[in-house]
Amino acid sequence: RKEVEQDPGPFNVPEGATVAFNCTYSNSASQSFFWYRQDCRKEPKLLMSVYSSGNEDGRFTAQLNRASQYISLLIRDSKLSDSATYLCVVNIYGAGNMLTFGGGTRLMVKP
Amino acid sequence: EADIYQTPRYLVIGTGKKITLECSQTMGHDKMYWYQQDPGMELHLIHYSYGVNSTEKGDLSSESTVSRIRTEHFPLTLESARPSHTSQYLCASSEPRRMDEQFFGPGTRLTVL
């Protein structure tokens, strides 16, 4: 079983739609969480960190559920430019503080 | 924008050649990483370093080697390139004060003929 699991998609949605991605992690010692965005043939870039209380950045909302060990990302009012792969990332403190990347969820926003 | 650089951006080379992929960062980060990623596939960690003179192998076995003689520089070397090495190689760095958020370079796209 992978340490960080995501539905690979693709999620095909029309412009303006609301879309949500979930991610589950297996190690309960995980301490910090991120969502990265990766455009086709580009490097991953940090989209947002995920805090225990949940956080919002414009159209993007991230939630953390420690009891169920999952993280979510909600995108409201989808834009064509949101089309990308979204990577769920978990940091397990202790074992060298390494980030573990999920396989990514691909989003395609259509006009 | 992150201050992490990779050269070359694209490399097409014949089988058997020795190659070195360069990675430099000006953020003073102690931790640096090399990932391998095929198109449409997930990232695989192949090497990492906690600081100068520290190198460790990652989750994915790789025939490449790395060195860390200076904080800002983390080159990756393939002694004898093969077509199976064709992939994108991404370098990253991080610091603990930012929860080890990783900053990525633009990548080197390697094609071995």
Looking at residue A27, what is its pLDDT? 84
Looking at residue A17, what is its pLDDT? 97
Looking at residue B99, what is its pLDDT? 67
The arithmetic mean of pLDDT across residues A11-15, rounded, is: 97
Tally of CA atoms within 13 A in the half-sphere of B54 that contains its CB:
13
Looking at residue A96, what is its pLDDT? 63
Picking from B8, B6, B11, the residue whose alpha carbon sits closest to that of residue B110 is B11
Task: Determine, for residues A42 and B107 on separate chains, whether the beta-carbon distance falls below 8 Å.
Answer: yes
* Closest residue in A to B91 (Cα–Cα): A43
Q: Could you identify the residue written with the tokens 């200076």?
A: B70
Q: Is A2 on the interface with B (CB under 8 A)?
A: no
The phi and psi torsions of B46 (rounded to 5 degrees) equal -110, -30
CB-based contact A50:A33 (threshold 8 Å)? yes
Residue range A39-97, pLDDT digits in tens: 998 999 999 999 888 899 999 999 999 999 999 999 999 999 999 999 999 987 665 66
DSSP for residue B98? G
Torsional class of A29: left (φ above 0), alpha (ψ -120 to 50), beta (otherwise) = alpha
% of chain B surpassing 70 pLDDT: 96
Q: How far is B62 from chain A (nearest CA, A)?
A: 18
**Cβ atoms < 10 Å from Cβ of A65:** 13
Q: Is A108 on the interface with B (CB under 8 A)?
A: no
CB-based contact B104:B88 (threshold 8 Å)? no
Using a CB-CB cut-off of 8 Å, the residues of chain A touching B106 are 42-43
